[in-house]
A and B are shown apart, each in its own frame.
Chain A
Amino acid sequence: MMSFMKGRVLVVDDDSALAEMLGIVLRGEGFEPSFVADGDKALAAFREAKPDLVLLDLMLPGRDGIEVCRLIRAESGVPIVMLTAKSDTVDVVVGLESGADDYIVKPFKPKELVARIRARLRRSEEPAPEQLAIGDLVIDVAGHSVKRDGQSIALTPLEFDLLVALARKPWQVFTREVLLEQVWGYRHAADTRLVNVHVQRLRSKVEKDPEKPEIVVTVRGVGYKAGPS
């Protein structure tokens, strides 16, 4: 658990110029980039490189980015940040639903990109042993585990952060904007669909009946709050 991580980043992008430029910027910030240009080879490269974060372009030859995202997510909770040229509803939502933690729309500024990567790599800075309860779930913050009746539930780091943020203040209703700031690290307003999609994903894992959520409760017109424990 490093408080400030300079990690390995796998860049999945078919545009060689952009990939090279991304490499320059990432190296300049102290990351270790590795590259793959083909969607079909992405999963093999991921297994080989064991990156701390994946930068994934959605438009790829071979397997498209959505598919790659789903494959990686199937075997790892590593943060995935999508690069997309389209901020249209469908593309972004499909990407997020297939497991991406965050997305960044082209064209972006280098600082923006680095900030996004850092936000995703920044892991729990206070590793104090802490036990939280939300609904019938028990969360071990330091151990990064969620258990229901002793059965542990696998969550990605982002989903875990989301759950912890809600569980720490069960009396508080979180607006989507506040969650974006606390969980995603956005300083100013961003796309609230990020929150919606990830709450859905989280619910599908932790709720007994995702149709009638009891852990993450929607407060209509405001946001979300933790269910009564």
Chain B
Amino acid sequence: MSGDSAASASGRSGGRPGRPVGRKTRGSRWGRLLDGGLLQGGVQGSPVIRLFVRWVRRPLLPVMRLWRRNIQLKVVVTTLLMSLGVVLLLGFVVIGQVRNGLLDAKVKASQSQATGGFAVAKQQAEEAVSVTGDDGAAADGRPSQSVIQWMSDLVESLSSGGQGAFDVVTLPAGDESGSGRGPRASGQVNPTASVPAALRERIDASGSAAQSYTRIVYDTKKDSQPGLVIGKQVNDPNRDPYQLYYLFPLTQEEKSLSLVKGTLATAGLFVVVLLGAIAWLVVRQVVTPVRMAAGIAERLSAGRLQERMKVTGEDDIARLGEAFNKMAQNLQLKINQLEDLSRMQRRFVSDVSHELRTPLTTVRMAADVIHEAREDFDPVTARSAELLADQLDRFESLLADLLEISRFDAGAAALEAEPIDLREVVRRVVSGAEPLAERKGTRIRVVGDQQPVVAEADARRVERVLRNLVVNAVEHGEGKDVVVKLAAAGGAVAVAVRDYGVGLKPGEATRVFSRFWRADPARARTTGGTGLGLSIALEDARLHGGWLQAWGEPGGGSQFRLTLPRTADEPLRGSPIPLEPKDSRRDRGPDDAGLPRGGGDGEKRATVSARQAGADGATRDPFALRPATVTPTADPTALPGNGARVVARPAPPARTGGTRTASGTQSGNADDADGVPEAVDGAGPGADDDRDRGPERGAGAAGGEGGRSGTRDADTDGEASRGRR
């Protein structure tokens, strides 16, 4: 751990500036870590490191986001970097060439000057020998005063020809120091410091002329300056070797070079900046219309349909703008048309509503008055009065349902959501359905109402949905119990209405929600209901962002489940109550054993037995919300697409008792009590259905699915059902 804390300490210093720190420290361990992990975000290691990396990343994030999102910035920065590279390269080449050109000339001139100087020195030495030969011979190896003087004169005379263009230095050859022939120099040049030691050694070794660049150092306060030094070993009048150097200052050349460098740097900087500016301008020309298009597209999608792009010229950008505007125009036209249609539809519904209802009210009241007085009539007229009143009831509810559903179709239905306790709603619905239940001999049980089940919902609509479900369940429950189960979990609440009546044949679970759908067309007229109740219920559920789904098995009863999000704007992820009740196979078990089944039933039977095994292990408590073995809450086939396909199939030749009207708002004597739900017919369509759906199909369950919500449900629930199989 100490390593980690050290890491954060060392990294902190590197990580503080707001630019990619990883680049700078490349090569070191932490540099590699930052480089690989910081910018990609994929750091493995201890939490401390990860924490640290996150801490370092944070200030960089805006910059990275800007880089990712801003193409103009990208282009400008790239242009700047690349032009900087080009300018630097160009500058180095140019400077190199200029320097070579300048120095070549200088060196040649210097060489010829020096060569001449060396010749003069040699000549003067020979002349001096011929003049003072005797003196030299008389000397005992020590330089005589005349030689010392001679050398001073030599330096003086040689340097006097240069007019300050060069200086002359003499140095003793080899290690011979301390003698009288010490170093001499013209023009206050420091002789030993100005001649590089390497050059001296070279000349000592070879004796021929050699040259080198150096800095000329002066004894006075004068600044040292760059120079070229050319030297050679020559002999003095005593024939002793000494080194003669010519020093040529390169001040002029250096000045010229730095001038060129300065010019180039300035020009380069300008070029880079200008290129950046040009890139910025050019990109802006392209990016501005694109950004405008993006902004306008966003505003269009937000509903401001009159937004248009400004189009100037005839270039590609202008064509983009024109096409965009044309698109927007057409879009606006279509949407306006649709809105007009919708408005007209709503207006029409509203008008029909009023125009029909006022006379209907009069008729209704008149019929009631006549109905009240029917005892005074003759039997025919009295019966007519009864029929009139009854059918007016039916007409009214049909009209009400029609208007309601056309309100949904026109999108005029508004949700008045507020927090309600579903137990209250259920209580009202159940007490409202009690009279009907008593007539049918059905007992309605409510379970799961120990705790409040609160959700943001429209009480009126939820009550309408539940009343529909409960009345349906009672009507088709064949006098057996109806169980209303409430549950809340996660972000959802659910109410499931379970009956043990005729149930649903495979595929009917989706079709029950179709408008005017009846399981048995031949018997449709005898049962009450408008055929719109479940369609309206489904629309009500959808309006809440909820689901209304159905499950049923032939002879095993059915379960309708309403799932609502706890808060109005929360998407549903699942339902607290499984769509298929856990007691489903308890009913099916005896059926399977006791009844002959069709040929294609093998798969179904297998599924059933497998499920039974699982169920015996699981608790049979009907209150449990989610059993350990996950029960599919929606069948994959319950998706809208599948539903449409199922609906398209012709209605099965139903002679079995499964008469379920799509509505139960009215009481009707469902004379299906004597139906034989497990008749062979039941297996026929079932097997057929199995083949249709292939392996996707999960047992006898089928979920009626609430449109868009269904696709959401498919992920979780579909998986659950796969898992079970």
Contact = CB atoms under 8 A, between A and B. Distances in A.
B457 to A, nearest CB: 11
Given A220-B419, A221-B420, A221-B454, A21 B365 contact: yes
Contacts of B180: none
Interface string B538-563: 00000000000000000000000000
Nearest to A58: B354
Nearest to A175: B424
Interface stretch (A95-103, A104-112, A208-216): A104-112
Given A25-B369, A86-B353, A222 B421 contact: yes
A59 B357 CA distance: 12
Contact of B364 (A108, A191, A220, A221): A108
B432 interface: yes
Interface string A168-194: 000000011100000000001101110
B112 interface: no
Contacts of B431: 188
A86 B369 CA distance: 24
B369 A17 contact: no
A106 B403 CA distance: 13
Contact of A191 (B369, B420, B460): B460
A110 B369 contact: yes
B297 to A, nearest CB: 34
A110 B367 CA distance: 10
A66 B369 CA distance: 30
B360 interface: yes
Contacts of A154: none
B368 A110 contact: yes
Contacts of A18: 358-359, 361-362, 365
Contacts of B363: 107
A22 interface: yes
B266 interface: no
Q: Which of B359, B362, B364 has the most CB of A within 10 A?
A: B362
Interface string A106-120: 111111010000000
Interface in A1-51: 15, 17-18, 21-22, 24-25, 28
B350 A86 contact: yes
Nearest to B427: A177
B414 interface: yes
Contact of A189 (B354, B358, B432, B452): B432
B364 A17 contact: no
Q: Which of B357, B361, B366, B460 has the most CB of A within 10 A?
A: B361
Contact of A85 (B358, B366, B416, B452): B358
Contacts of A59: 354
B307 interface: no
B424 A177 contact: yes
Contact of B428 (A21, A22, A24, A188): A188
A151 interface: no
Interface string B200-243: 00000000000000000000000000000000000000000000
B346 to A, nearest CB: 10
B369 A24 contact: yes
A116 B436 CA distance: 25
Interface residues of B, number: 32
A123 B481 CA distance: 43
A185 B428 CA distance: 16
B412 interface: yes
Given A107-B360, A107-B361, A110-B368, A192 B460 contact: yes
A109 B364 contact: yes
B121 interface: no
B185 interface: no
Contacts of B407: 88
B421 A107 contact: no
Q: Which of B363, B364, B412, B463 has the most CB of A within 10 A?
A: B364
Q: Which of A17, A113, A175 has the most CB of B within 10 A?
A: A17
Nearest to B424: A175
A79 B510 CA distance: 48
B459 interface: yes
Contacts of A28: 369
A176 B460 CA distance: 12
Contacts of B520: none
Contacts of B359: 15, 17-18
B352 to A, nearest CB: 10
A111 B368 CA distance: 9
A15 B421 contact: no
A25 B416 CA distance: 35
Contacts of A189: 428, 432, 463
B692 to A, nearest CB: 42
Nearest to B412: A88
Interface string B427-456: 010011000000000000000000010100
Nearest to B456: A221
Contacts of B454: 221
Given A85-B357, A107-B357, A15 B362 contact: yes
B396 interface: yes
Contacts of A113: 365
Contacts of A21: 361-362, 365-366
A111 B454 CA distance: 35
Given A188-B428, A191-B460, A106 B361 contact: yes
A86 to B, nearest CB: 6
A221 B432 contact: no
A27 to B, nearest CB: 11
B421 A106 contact: no
B396 A107 contact: yes
Contact of B414 (A17, A89, A175, A192): A89
Contacts of B365: 18, 21-22, 24-25, 109-110, 113
Contacts of A17: 359, 362
A85 B366 CA distance: 18
Given A18-B358, A59-B354, A177-B424, A107 B460 contact: no
Nearest to B467: A189
B400 to A, nearest CB: 9
15 contacts: A17-B362, A18-B358, A24-B365, A25-B369, A28-B369, A83-B361, A89-B414, A107-B361, A176-B459, A188-B432, A189-B432, A191-B460, A193-B416, A221-B419, A222-B421
Given A25-B369, A106-B358, 12 more contacts: A25-B365, A86-B354, A88-B407, A109-B364, A109-B365, A110-B365, A177-B424, A189-B428, A189-B463, A220-B419, A221-B421, A221-B454
- The 7 nearest A-B residue pairs measured at CB: A221-B419, A85-B354, A106-B357, A107-B361, A85-B357, A106-B361, A107-B360
Interface of A: 15, 17-18, 21-22, 24-25, 28, 59, 83, 85-86, 88-89, 106-111, 113, 175-177, 188-189, 191-193, 220-222
